[in-house]
Structure 1
Amino acid sequence: MCLKSNVFVLCSLGFIVCLAKMTLHSHYPDIEKASKKDQQFYVDSPSCKMPKMDPFSADIMKFFRKKQFKECSTDGDLVLSEFDLELRQYRLNIDDGIYEKLSKKVANGTLKCQYQVIGRNKSASYPDNGFTLSKPRPLNHSFLVPKNIDCVSTQCYAVNEKKKMELLQEDGFLFVQDRLRHNTKNPEEPRPDGESKPNVIILGIDSTSRMNLRRSMPKLHEFLQQPGWFEMQGFNKVGENTIPNLLALLTGNAEEKAMEQSRFSRGGFIDKLKFIWQRFKKYGYLTAFGEDCGKINTFNYHKPGFRKQPVDYYLRNFIVALESILKTRREFRNVFCVGRKLGFKYIFDFARQFMQRFEKVAPIFGIFWSNSFTHENFLGATALDKVFWEYLLEYDELGFFNRSVVFVLSDHGYRYGVPRESDKSGYLEERLPMMFIYVPPWFRKRYPQYVQNLKTNQNRLSSGFDVHMTLHHLLQLNVTSMSGFSPNLRASQCKGCQSLFFELPYNRKCSQAGIRDKWCSCDPTETVTDKKHISRVALEVVRRMNQHLEDRNLTELCESYTLKKVIHMDRKVPVTDESVEDDELHTYVISFLTRPTQAHFEATVQWNTQRGSLTMNVNELSRLESYKKHSKCTNDPVIKKYCICIPF
């Protein structure tokens, strides 16, 4: 009798777990059709069920429109930059043929060109936020650029008989000047450490999910399917916006507490963080970092940026200068054209120069990041597809990938706007950014076990903290297990995270990957239909939001909320076989509108059914519509998200 009773209890528990798993499809109706065996999930383990979503589902495709790429200028280049291989120095050349075409409307005009040196104002309180500009200097037809000049702006005029000048063209130029300690090395002689110190190149596109990559950038996606590329399909973001996700990758700590405590607003705070490029520098690497759209740069948007130049080649001041000096054109709600050239192209042309100049003679580490197409508009990726694809083709044809480990990645998916508000898959799309890793043929031959682990890890849960450990691993490829890593090198926020060249645990939970419950994509959900209960939870959420405004002394700055409408409320269903959700404690994801302004929020909360009490962190609220125009009264990035400014 006792045996039968125990069997009944075990069966009952198993039945409850089965019921929990059966709810998976209730919230994810657009799972990709595939074989029943193992193709329904990106990650399929007892602790994580990350469903495959259809990028082309009807509810998202009704908003999908391809955007055409618009050239910034159709004129030929009057001033051209080239590298003199014999002198190992840059030249700026003036094209007389282009001048003849441009100056036809100026009778008897003569050409006058000049340049101004752009620099970093090291004595400024916040050097990242400005630039220095020299007085104009004459620019002759074949100008040999001094080796101490990193970037210039140029202006060319047609001067008529009355000495009146008409501007023909203005541009900006970057030069990858020599930072090597041993300048006598033969640049044609391959370096002996090419395999022990592979080049490391990170190419990033902001706000691009793995689903939108497939939907909007088919050419790029096809390129990334070639041999040597591995997609981390279980890659889950660890924080809300760019900075926590990039900091996880670059420092091993998302620093979200520092963000909430406004420590990022203090000059010098960012410099104190331990960036991975510092370690690469110690190992003899030349380092570079470039990002377009100066006003929204990762470490400068409502932040003071770096006091000291963080890497050998830092494009921040050049981009800020050009966006101030040259005419700009906006597309996709961002600065798009900077003068005659795409802001994107300044960054990725520099990446080509950087690799072309040094990748054979010294190990290089470079991060090249773009916001311009995708930060504000998920459809902007459709216009970027061909542009980015052509750069990768060029890099490949120039042989850059033969000696490099390359990451093509994003920080997160699209966080607000139409797809996030109206598409049920938007919850997952926001949390699953694209992440591809390329390893060259020699690496695949020399480290077959690492390659096998990359293949396995494609369908394991991973995070930016694992990428951070992978970057550390690239500096010590002879280490064959995580036990060989110094404790000081472990990601400080995720001590259990590891290099992607080692096999990730099969039964890994989000907490073990440094991913908090708010962002975890492993738990399926079921929709709650009890309207009375939904209303009770929603009203308590709004009450907590108002209480938070009082606690932070924001009631004279920000409007109080009232609940307008609940869009939906879902309950997270744990998938682990060994535990069944506590009946008293439920985790809900609730999407709702508030007054005033129809602010659209999403909250992840815990509800104790016995006590009728709620636990939530207001700072973790997600805002699903653009809130720029309603939050201009504060520069605090956390407060901006939930503050609806009182009009004065």
Structure 2
Amino acid sequence: MQSKREKLLLICYLLIVCLSYSTCKHTKYFVDSAYCKMPFVDPFSRDVMSTFRTQKLKVCHHDKDLITPEFDPITKRYRLHIHKEYVNGTKGNITLNCSYQKISRSSKVLTPDNSYRLSYRRALPHHLLLPKDVEFLTTSCSTKDNGGNSTVFQQDGFALVQDKFTPKQLKENRRIMNSKDVPKPSVVIMGLDSTSRMNLRRSMPKVSKYVDQEGWFEMQGYNKVGDNTLPNLLAVLTGDASTGPRNGCSLRDRGCLDKFNFIWKRYKEEGYTTAYAEDCELYSTFNYIIPGFVHQPVDYYLRPFLYAAEDSMKLTSYLTNAYCVGRHLSFRYVWDFGQQFIQRFLKEAPLFGFLWSNSFTHDSMSGASALDNLFNEYLDNFQTLGLFNRSVVIFMSDHGDRFNNLRNSPSGFLEERLPMMFIHVPPWFKEKYPQYVENLKKNRNRLSSNYDLHMTLHHLLQLNNSSMSDFNSSLQAAKCKNCQSLFFELPVNRTCAEAGIDEKWCTCHPPEKVNDPKLNQEIGQTIVDTINQHFREKNVTDTCHELRLGHIRHAYRKMILATADKPSDPDEHIYTMEFWTLPKGLFEATVKWNKRTQVLTMNVDELSRLNTYEKDSWCVKEAHLKKYCICYEALTTTTHSLNFRSSS
């Protein structure tokens, strides 16, 4: 008979075996294939939650709205109501005078996106029925006492979605919407900047629960294709992520952006009514460092209003630069505008809407936590309006956090590269196209990219196509000829290259930490030498300081998985190096290093900057150079006294 000690040892041994087996067998991946092992990231891991602090929603004003707009469904125009009862002491000895100014886009200047026109001040009587050409306006109400002293009581701004349809257009809209053969769904893209799928889960539990409902599909294998917002949204909206010269011009050239084949142009050609709204003028995707659009890109465009509002109203900073614009959240201007757009036209015309917000999430890893209740209210409002019964809705981000504590965490590499991506299809779509819904289910845990989403947007305009071979070749994403609609089944064994994802951003290869100081130093020094050589080639050595290698914070090696047509070279690896430089600078470089040939391959333009650099690189205008140029004039006496301790 076995002794108690032997039995106890046997039980312990079996437990160890079972636990080991369970750990190995149940290793989690977002994508698990022969060519892609995209690691699962726990949103609530201890290392992240130890520094995560929820934020509170701060209101922009505590007074009541003196002026409120109301849409008149009979005249299809807006009325402005003045609530005189909110002004204390109006009876007898105080009079109230209100006026408004129309805001419009200035088409006669070189860069219309960075300008606006204000009309002369007009009297604003009670119950004013606004002309249809007044989409944006500012209001001002003043009180005057018996002594003739005037005081500004309240100023405000309004963005209104006016009805512009002619009877002929309304007839055509109904024909398109009522097509029985191939109905065209409305399409609305909702975006929150810098939000990984993990950070959505930890920051916005109510919104997370909302998008876990039936009809929503999370693309867990969705991997970004570029560094910041511009290339990632260009890939979605144009099929081309390049920010370099394209269409015979550079994005820094006036009018270049208008030449891109934005997807909303095709939707407009197909009879859709289009809208684009984005908050935070400073960070606006198509205006940061570049001149923006010369011609208004969509039917309903919020840019002129927000540019004017930020220029003329009080700005309050919290989480980001333009949190409050006047009396209202910058965020609310975008989503109220989107809500009006949906309310006005959802039942009258096929819609394409692009709504994008930076104000809570651009500069804060936990800013989205302050937004959870408010954004959930908007989703409820959209549901009440019938949006989710009629439309395909895409809820997405461009990338995760690129700076701050979250990026510096052990999972920061993945947090940055794996933005949230959800697709909602309405009940009628599921009934008419069950095969597309089944493919969405299959694709949830397969590698996908921004280019696939671009092709999905094309597919929604030609739902009768049964395969990618039915698509006109001119519609194919310029930077990914193999990418396809997410309504078609993606290949199981798909590589990042096949999805249009450069190795720099690819999360498919299992990484391991490199603890070889000599090797790390050799690669790190070669990287810095390459950057300095790039300065010489760009002729900016008299502007940008030469860099010296400081502390190497992290070094990881990613094994290149074998593919069907390219077996892996056992001596070739991808290295991701995080390092400090002198002068100040925290960088991440992804390079290819062959141990046998001693050859390093690196694209300097793909270098990532992990600490903020707004004040370092003002002396250069090129976007890529801004990431790694440290201007001589920006150096201070504290520049060289850096702390190079590893945060690992």
Q: TM-score, normalised by structure 2?
A: 0.91
Query: For 1:262 and 1:58, how far apart are their aligned partners in 2?
Result: 48
Q: What is the deviation of 1:59?
A: 1.7
Matched residue, 2:379: 392
Counterpart contact for 2:218–2:423, Cα < 8 Å: yes
1:265 alignment partner, SS class = coil
Counterpart contact for 1:38–1:44, Cα < 8 Å: no
Query: For 1:140 and 1:128, how far apart are their aligned partners in 2?
Result: 31
Query: For 1:347 and 1:419, how far apart are their aligned partners in 2?
Result: 27
Give the letter aligned to residue 457 of structure 1. Answer: N
Query: For 2:276 and 2:471, how far apart are their aligned partners in 1?
Result: 26
Q: 1:92 to 1:302 in 2, by over 3 A?
A: same
Q: What is the deviation of 1:399?
A: 1.4
Query: For 2:218 and 2:321, how far apart are their aligned partners in 1?
Result: 29
Of 386, 390, 397, the match for 1:403: 390
Counterpart contact for 1:107–1:160, Cα < 8 Å: no
Matched residue, 1:80: 68
1:548 matched to 2:534 = yes
Of 39, 53, 62, the match for 1:51: 39
Root-mean-square deviation over aligned CA pairs: 2.2
Of 100, 114, 117, the match for 1:115: 100
Counterpart contact for 2:560–2:572, Cα < 8 Å: no
4+ residue runs over 6 A deviation: 33-36, 186-190
1:464 matched to 2:471 = no
Query: For 1:635 and 1:370, how far apart are their aligned partners in 2?
Result: 25
Query: For 2:382 and 2:270, how far apart are their aligned partners in 1?
Result: 24
Q: What is the deviation of 1:588?
A: 0.7
Counterpart contact for 1:89–1:145, Cα < 8 Å: yes
35-44 or 510-519, larger mean C-alpha shift: 35-44
Query: For 1:184 and 1:56, how far apart are their aligned partners in 2?
Result: 51
Of 416, 432, 452, the match for 2:438: 452
Q: 1:434 to 1:330 in 2, by over 3 A?
A: same
314-323 or 153-162, larger mean C-alpha shift: 153-162
Matched residue, 1:265: 252
1:276 matched to 2:263 = yes
Of 150, 153, 158, the match for 1:173: 158
Give the letter aligned to residue 57 of structure 2. Answer: F
Query: For 1:153 and 1:183, how far apart are their aligned partners in 2?
Result: 32
Query: For 1:495 and 1:184, how far apart are their aligned partners in 2?
Result: 36
2:87 alignment partner, SS class = helix
Q: 1:107 to 1:378 in 2, by over 3 A?
A: farther
1:98 matched to 2:83 = no
1:628 alignment partner, SS class = coil
Matched residue, 1:27: none
Structure 1: gaps of 5 or more residues: 1-32
Give the letter aligned to residue 416 of structure 1. Answer: F
Counterpart contact for 2:275–2:299, Cα < 8 Å: yes
Of 198, 214, 217, the match for 1:211: 198
1:251 matched to 2:227 = no
2:86 alignment partner, SS class = helix
Q: What is the deviation of 1:603?
A: 0.4
Q: What is the deviation of 1:185?
A: 4.8
Matched residue, 1:89: 77
Matched residue, 1:489: 475
Of 296, 317, 320, the match for 1:309: 296
Query: For 1:333 and 1:343, how far apart are their aligned partners in 2?
Result: 10
Matched residue, 1:42: 30
Q: 1:498 to 1:188 in 2, by over 3 A?
A: closer
Q: What is the deviation of 1:634?
A: 2.3
Counterpart contact for 1:34–1:40, Cα < 8 Å: no
Counterpart contact for 2:496–2:508, Cα < 8 Å: yes
Counterpart contact for 2:334–2:356, Cα < 8 Å: yes
1:61 matched to 2:46 = no
Of 399, 407, 419, the match for 1:412: 399
Structural mapping, 1:132-211, within 5 Å: 132-182=117-167, 185=170, 191-193=177-179, 196-211=183-198
Counterpart contact for 2:249–2:256, Cα < 8 Å: no
Counterpart contact for 1:188–1:360, Cα < 8 Å: no
Matched residue, 1:372: 359
Q: What is the deviation of 1:619?
A: 1.2
1:569-625 deviation digits (Å, cap 9, x = unpaired) = 11111333766531343221111111112x111101112323323211111111111
Matched residue, 1:18: none
Query: For 1:414 and 1:188, how far apart are their aligned partners in 2?
Result: 41
1:570 matched to 2:546 = no
Counterpart contact for 1:334–1:373, Cα < 8 Å: no
Q: What is the deviation of 1:67?
A: 0.7
Give the letter aligned to residue 366 of structure 1. Answer: G
Structural mapping, 1:473-622, within 5 Å: 473-576=459-562, 581-597=568-584, 599-622=585-608
Q: Percent of aligned pairs with the same residue?
A: 49
Query: For 2:27 and 2:117, how far apart are their aligned partners in 1?
Result: 56
